[in-house]
Structure 1
Amino acid sequence: IIRQDRKRSFLYYLMEYVEGEGLDKWLRKNQPPSPKRAINIVKQVAEGLKAFHQNEAVHQDLKPGNIMVTEEGKALVLDFGSVFVAGLSECVSPIIPDGVLGTAGYSDPLYLRGHNPGIQGDVYSLATITYEMFTGTLPYGDKIEQCRSAFDYDQLRYTEASSNNPVIPEWFDGALKRGTSFDLEERYRTIDDFMKDLLQPNPEFLKADPVVQKSANTLMFWKLLSGFWFVTFLLLIYLFSQNS
């Protein structure tokens, strides 16, 4: 805040002017962005959120429109109108029942259910934005914007990022899936945890899915059995043809 020497007659405040454009517009111009540029923006946004969290504050309305990208590729987090600050929560209502807190598609569905996920809410938003940057769509599709109840959200299913962008590795997709999980027990607890798995392979995501593996083994069994009976059938035909 700039110190004033004369008596004030109006209430106002000054902000830094930033030359750039919202990430939403930037993505429309640069879709798909190069992985290097995309992950650089994600890392900067993550650092901005960590600064919030270190000061016991949560953004609660992170979305592409609230992220400014300069021509130099610098990313800044904007719009603190929904910020939750520890110690001031008794002065304002952190949860707005009609769902206007945050933005549909990017905000944690738990807000709608009357729960405040805290830092994990920002993790969800960052993971959702990261998913969109690499795939051009949302992890639960466009239908998430029409959800109005817990039942509506329960009908949604995560879409594997690799199905929208085949070059996305399995471990990267695993980090996005965990970051956007509706279950707080499964979701990352901090931004650092999410970024760690996003930037380097987590062996847990490279393990074969036991259900898929079981299905593959079953399929192989039936293929081998079918092959055995087919060979047996051909052998019988050959033997009978020799006798005749």
Structure 2
Amino acid sequence: MASAQLSLSHGQAFVAPDRRRHRSSMAVRRPEGTLLAAKGACALISDSTSRNPLAKQAGDLSVQGFLADYFSTPDHWDVKTSATRVLRALNGWCFGQSRQVSDGGYVSSLSAMIFRAREAHLFHMGDTLVFRLRGAEFEQLSRDHVTDLGGYRYPSRALGMDASLDIDYARMPLKQGDIFLFTTQVVQGTLMPSDYVRLIRQDASDLDAACDRLAQTARERAQERGYGGDQFCFQLVRIDALPEEESDHPGKVYGDLPIPPELAVGERLDGLEVREVLSRTAQSRVYRVRDVHSEREMVMKAPSPELSSRNAYLEHFLLQQWVVERVHSPFVVRVMEPSRPRRFLYYLMAYVSGETLTDWVMRHPQATLEQRLDIARQLGKAVQALHHRDLLHQRVHPDNVLIDRHGQVVLADLSACHLRDVDGHRRSRSLLRQVGLTEHSAPEYALDDEVGRRSDQYSLASTVYWLLTGELPYDVPVKELLRHTDLERMHYRSARQRNPEVSPALDEVLRRALSPQRELRYRRLSEFLHALRLPETPPGTPPGRRRWREPAGFWQGVAAVLTLLLVLSWLLR
């Protein structure tokens, strides 16, 4: 019988002497309302190897991380786009963390199935197992990706194993009564397909009891054959009801909302009164507004009324709120939820009572080097927070940086922010070109080269250079770069010549981060920020080893003592 919404049931069973040391993790989540229509329900299982000291952490992190991020993706993304981007971002994080630990790693097999409308979408990495029981037909849906090394079977193509991720994807229609089984490789050799069908069908109305039967039988079979049976886990999901028909595309949740008209001070929209017009550009309108009910002051950002429905920036605008929601940092502006449903296309951000970095520099010409470096470090933390979520900012420059009355730095404008993905380089460049290059943009944007985190590093370093000197590091404007040979015209202008307070070491730090060649900059943003904290340390000096500048007076004192000892030795003969 069809229903208005997808309905499902699930059951689980673990066999483990100590759940805290279990190397597998599994979960089912079915949201309500519009989120269910847009994103569907999700069931997933992860598993790491017994030889991995971080097996439990890897399994839990992959499951919890996917659930947290998948249901936060933009509503107008389809299931495949949402899950694939989340998995690639999660893989990058796990791979990066694994390289920082000496024992074990955040590597795990993962199978995630999304049930949306009348279809199921399976995303599979590694050697976890997914089966479907439809009537008397029991079918394995996942493929076993394993490698034999020294007599042991290890998963391959797993999450966190490599910088790139190869994902198996399958899309299949659902039928009412379908039962999906999620389990791990350790069950291989214990249960036959007929055992699964018999044990599940014995009482399919109680899925927890069915999982318990599977776990108990698998454990008994394993003990009979003389190998460990203490790491089994089973998860069953049954489709109880399907919606009448395919829901509208999830993008219509916000994508079909009209663009707000031009607003003036005093006008109201959805209970929000305009207090000040902060910005009007070809792409967007930014207003300071007050919620007439809660009295909260916020910032409303809306697309420009002149934009057509096919404009690439308008498509990206739908992602901006999601971008802000993903990042939790005191140095990045935070999103605010409206107190009533939106009738127009816009989003709300926290209002920062302060001034732009450009205005701050004009009002504080006597600011010390340390004050300026403190702002630079805070701004670096903002960009770093974006990079941790696999996001590129692409427009770091003084007018996008706010400083409140307490000296707190907040990175405010995310109009060109973009999620790194397989074809994101092309989209990132085209998006920035539409928004507009700035004098702090990295050369690769003008030359249509590959862009990445080091491109943000250049913009950050250029902004820091301007903050310390009031000028730009190169005579050649970025917009005048037409071909790669133009890079030879870019000659770094020493920051020391414009601000004698800048030390030679700090000047060298800026020179490297501002290299026209992307590959010559710091490999990681954290290295650049660390160098900014230690401006007196020469580049390449190991941590803890500083240059010791011996004063001339010290050696004069040593010479005097030696002379006195020599005289005493003659007198005492």
Fold match by TM threshold 0.5: yes
Among 17, 34, 39, which residue is 2:368 paired with? 34
Greater alpha carbon shift after TM alignment, 40-49 vs 190-199: 190-199
User: Counterpart of 1:182?
Assistant: 516
Equivalent of 1:58 in 392, 399, 404? 392
Looking at CA atoms only, which structure, 1 or 2, has the larger radius of gyration? Answer: 2
Report the Cα distance in structure 1 between the residues aligned to 2:356 and 2:434, rounded to whole angstroms: 21
1:217-239 superposed Cα distances (whole Å, 9 cap, x missing partner): xxxxxxxxxxxxxxxxxxxxxxx
Correspondence list, 1:204-215, <5 A: 204=539
Residue 203 (structure 1) aligned with residue 529 (structure 2): no
2:488 corresponds in structure 1 to 154
Q: In the TM superposition, what are the counterparts of 1:1-244 in structure 2 within 5 Å?
A: 1-2=336-337, 8-87=342-421, 93-96=427-430, 99-100=433-434, 103-141=437-475, 143-144=476-477, 147-150=480-483, 151-200=485-534, 201-204=536-539
3-state SS, counterpart of residue 96 of structure 1:
helix
- Measured after TM superposition, the shift of residue 12 of structure 1 is 3.0
Normalized per residue, the structure richer in strand is 2
Once the two structures are TM-superposed, the CA of residue 183 in structure 1 deviates from its matched residue by 1.3
Residues in 1 aligned to 2:473 and 2:410: alpha-carbon distance in whole angstroms: 23
Q: Which SS does the other structure have where 2:519 is aligned?
A: coil
Q: Which runs of 4+ in 1 moved over 6 A?
A: none
Distance 1:98 1:51, change over 3 A: closer
Contact 1:21 1:69 in 2 (8 A): yes
Q: How many residues align?
A: 204
Distance 2:460 2:408 in 1: 17
Identity of aligned residues (%): 27
Take 2:408 and 2:466, find their aligned partners in 1: how far apart are those partners? Answer: 19
Q: CA deviation at 1:59?
A: 0.1
CA contact (8 A) 1:20 1:70 kept: yes
Distance 2:473 2:349 in 1: 34
The amino acid across from 2:398 in the alignment is P
1:26: Cα distance to partner? 1.3
Please give the per-residue CA displacement for 1:119-139, whole angstroms capped at 9, x wherever unaligned.
101110111111111111111
By percentage of residues, which structure has more helix? 1
Measured in 2, the distance between the counterparts of 1:97 and 1:54 equals 21
Determine the C-alpha separation between the residues in 2 that align with 1:98 and 1:118.
13
For structure 2, the 5+ residue unaligned runs are 1-335, 542-573
Q: TM-score, normalised by structure 2?
A: 0.33
Secondary structure at the counterpart of residue 68 of structure 1: strand
Aligned-residue Cα RMSD (Å) equals 2.6
Q: Secondary structure at the match of 2:527?
A: helix
Matches of 1:118 and 1:91 in 2, distance apart?
8
User: Compared with structure 1, are the counterparts of its residues 23 and 110 closer, same or farther at alpha carbon in structure 2 (3 Å cutoff)?
Assistant: same
1:179 to 1:47, Cα distance in 2 relative to 1, 3 A: same
Structure 1 residue 101: Cα displacement = 5.4
CA displacement at 1:155 relative to structure 2: 1.0
Q: Does structure 1 retain, via aligned residues, the 8 Å contact 2:440–2:459?
A: yes
Q: Shift of the alpha carbon at 1:10?
A: 2.8
Amino acid of the structure 2 residue aligned with 1:2: E
Report the residue type matching 1:131 in the other structure: Y
Q: SS state of the match for residue 95, structure 1?
A: helix
Going from structure 1 to structure 2, the CA distance change for 1:145 and 1:111 (only over 3 Å counts) comes to: closer
Q: Deviations 1:57-109 (Å, cap 9, x if unpaired)? A: 01001000000011211111011111120349569821129945553320101
**Which residue identity lines up with residue 149 of structure 1 in the other structure?**
L
- Supply the distance in 1 between the matched residues of 2:411 and 2:405 (Cα, whole angstroms): 15
For the structure 1 residues 131 and 98, does the alpha-carbon distance in structure 2 shift closer, same or farther, using more than 3 Å as the test?
Answer: closer
The separation in 1 between residues aligned to 2:515 and 2:370, in whole angstroms, is 25
Q: Normalising by the residue count of structure 1, what TM-score does the alignment of the two structures yield?
A: 0.74
